[in-house]
Amino acid sequence: NVWTLTTARDFLKSLGDDDYGNRYLSIFTLMTPLSLVALPFQDVAIHKFGFAWGLQGVNFLGLTHGIIKVASTNLNVQILGFLVFSFFRCFLFSVVFSCLASFTSSHATGRAVGVMYVTAGAASFLNIGLTYLIEKLNGNFFIPNLIFVVLTTPMIYIAYLIGKALDCDVRAKEELHALESFSAPAASTYPAEQDAEDGNVAPAT
């Protein structure tokens, strides 16, 4: 996300956007708000398939966008990448923040978001090294973009593990709720029976 936003100008320049008066950079900028169009799809993904598949949707969109950047130098093809990136941004923020709130308490959500941002910030230092690499490659973005595609691939397995953990959490909560429901009636009758034994309330005849 950060890499794409900060390098969009230079990446499109390397593909010849300067010859068109930065037309494609303008298209990229104008298409960014289109991420709102993806909200209904994100809603369906979460409610129908769960957070695990929502996270996989983030991975799929991220990989698709990366592959488009690596596979084609055609600026018109990159417009499709702009659209995919807009959907990716919508899924990234909405799915991740919703997923965090689903398994953390209200007191811990803020800390969880903070940890997530610190981790993402630390990972962003990779961008510095990739920037130097681009300079050594005379402005060629192929290898840096390919590195991002490769680094995104393990996230598929990580999302799978998160999905398994979320399923276990749901089952544990359901079992706890069933246990509480089973024990609640017996607990509610105990005070009345105790009062009757103590002589405070006459037992029912």
Write the pLDDT tens digit of every residue in 113-127.
888 888 888 888 888
- Structure pTM? 0.78
Inter-residue contact 8 to 130 (CB < 8 Å): no
Task: Give the whole-angstrom CA distance, residue 78 versus residue 24.
Answer: 8
3-state secondary structure of 105: coil
Instruction: For residue 133, give the 3-state DSSP assignment.
Output: helix
pLDDT at 40: 85
- Report residue 32: phi and psi, to 5°: -55, -45
30/98 Cα distance (integer angstroms): 27
> 3-state DSSP helix/strand/coil percent for the chain, to nearest 5?
85, 0, 15
Stretch 156-160: mean pLDDT? 91
So what's the pLDDT on residue 111? 84
pLDDT of residue 106: 73
Q: Is the model more confident about 192 or about 28?
A: 28
Which H or E run includes 103? helix 75-103
Residue 40's alpha-carbon distances to 2, 34, 49, in angstroms, are 24, 12, 14
| Mean pLDDT (whole number) for 165-189 | 70
Q: Show the tokens assigned to 16.
A: 């010849």
Output 187 or 131, whichever has higher pLDDT: 131
